[in-house]
Structure 1
């Protein structure tokens, strides 16, 4: 096969993909029912929340897997910051503004504020317009473990996690 035939085959293959409607997804364009692979497990995107605090936005996806549900977050802070979180037990009190002891680890509050829900889709347990007080904390020892605490009305919720690289996940369009 000559060079021109190879080039034609490449273009033909690309056009076939376009005709099939193949869609490439990124963390910024994920939608409900997309499939996210992380750490040798597949998850289905079941919900999406977009938070807004003073013009700053971040997005959290609810991922449902066979053995666990997780939360995948991303925000732009000079570069993309991506985190994978697992729901954990509720802390006995609010973190405050300094250090916070939780399940044997000392955390430092990185951010604290109040955000409104700009967008809510699917199974997220929240609705557009709701407000939530939040604390983002990082462990004092390694600076790798993260704790997210949210106060919805009078109820606290907590998740522990860590930053991940976008290279650690793959996304397959579900629709």
Structure 2
């Protein structure tokens, strides 16, 4: 009887773990055993980001060991930029600026939303973070959501949090973050 209870407990635990799967992003399943790039290419909401990462030559980097926390703007976030901005950034002569903007969306850590909220709370409501691109952004929370203020005062909201990857985590955001001018 004891063995039966143990087996039942193990089954209940494994069933519970199966329910704690990654959220879907852009209509696609995200797999914890795949890296950031392997998952991002499947998201219909991140085709602009994937094109930009490719043009910037960052595919190999973001496929690496990490850990990385990627604040991943959606296609709609890129569409909010002034007309022609994305097209100009994708030109070879603007690669340095594109790399800067994209690496400002990467933090060299594996920061789940609960970690970020803890840092924000510990710092009295705002937490400064320096990105891989050298940008200093401010993390905040509002109504249980993580928000990021960029170097120009724009605020992005995390719309899908805690998408676990083999080399870090993705948080989907609704605004492209920009470095200070």
Q: TM-score, normalised by structure 1?
A: 0.34
Q: Which has the higher helix share?
A: 2
Rg comparison, structure with higher value: 1
Q: TM-score, normalised by structure 2?
A: 0.33
